[in-house]
Amino acid sequence: MQELVLFIVGVIVSAFGTTVGFGGGVFLVPILIIFFGYNMEIAIGSAMSAMMPGAIIASLFNLRDRSIDYLVGILIQLPAMAGTVLGAFMVAFLPVQELQLIFVVFVLGIGVIMILPKKKEVPRHAGMMYRIRRAPTSFIRKNREKKLAYRLNGGVVSLFGFVSGTVAGLFGIGGGFLQTPMMIKLFRMPAQIATSTSLFILVVTSFTGFISHFLLGNVLWNRSLPLMIAFSVGSLIGNLLKKRTPRGKKLERLIAIGLLLAGTGVLLNLLMKTGGGFSF
C-alpha cells in the first residue's frame, strides 16, 4: 500500500514540476522524509534518481516542440557547476541555517509577488534590467518556430548561473525553482522557453547528482526505481498538461504557486535539519 501511495505522489509531483519547470525534487525530499520515513541522504539520492528520467523525457518533448534555448542553458549550467562546488565548500565557513532562513523568506516573497495581481506592468523597454540587457555582451535570441524574440546579456546570465549554483551547493537544494522565475522576471524570457530551458538544465544537474549519490551509497534501488518510474509517468502527463495550460500570466501564476510550495519545502527541510529550532 505504501509503495502505491509513493508512486501516486511521485506522479503528481513530477507532473506539476514538469509543468512549471522545477523538476520536482524540492517538493519530493520533504515528503519522503516527513511522510515515508526516509533519512535525509536517502531522500536526496532518491529524488536525484527520480528527476533524471523525468527531465530527459520532458526535454525530449521540448526538443520536438523546439522550445529549449540551448545557449542560455549552457550559459547558466557551466557557471552553476562551479558555483555548486564553491557553495559546498562555503558550508564550513558560513552560518548556513540563518542564511537558509533568509533564503526561504526571499523565495516565499517572490512567490507572493508573482501571484498577486499587478496594478501597473513595468514597460518592457524601461527599467534597470532593460538597460543591463542592452549593455556589452548583449544579444538577441529568436525562436522562429514560436515567433518569439528576446534580448539577453550573456555576462548577467552567466553570473546568475553561478549564483544559483552557489545557492544550490550551499543549501543542498536544486536550483531549478530559482532559475525558472528569474529567467521570466529578470531576463523577460517567454514562460514556455524558460520552463523548457530549466528542464534541459536539470538533465545535467540530476545526472551528476545521481552519480554522486550513487557513489556515496545513497541510491537504494528498491526505493529509487519506483520513483524513477513514477517521475517518468508524471513527466509524460506533465507534458500533455502543458499543451492545455494557458501561456503567459496563467503559467506564471502556476510558477508562483510552485515557488510558495518550494519555499515551504525548503523551510520544512531546514526545520528537520535543526530539530525545529534555530540558533542565532
Which DSSP string do the residues of 188-212 spell out, in sequence order?
Answer: ---HHHHHHHHHHHHHHHHHHHHHH
* Confidence (pLDDT) at 242: 76
Residues 6+ apart with CB under 8 A from 182: 160, 164
Closest CA to 58 of 26, 29, 27, 17: 17
Residue-level length of the chain: 280
* Confidence (pLDDT) at 199: 92
The answer to whether 174 touches 98, Cβ cutoff 8 Å, is no
Q: How far apart are CA 179 and CA 21, in angstroms?
A: 9
Q: How far apart are CA 19 and CA 11, in angstroms?
A: 12
* Confidence (pLDDT) at 251: 77
* Confidence (pLDDT) at 124: 53
* Confidence (pLDDT) at 225: 93
Q: How confident is the prediction along the chain (280 residues), in pLDDT tens digits per residue?
A: 788 999 999 999 999 988 888 888 778 888 888 888 888 788 888 988 999 999 999 999 999 989 999 999 999 999 988 888 887 677 667 776 777 787 788 888 888 877 876 655 555 555 555 565 566 668 889 888 888 888 888 888 999 889 888 877 766 566 677 788 888 878 888 888 999 999 999 888 888 888 888 888 889 998 899 999 999 999 999 988 877 765 656 777 888 888 888 788 778 777 766 665 555 4
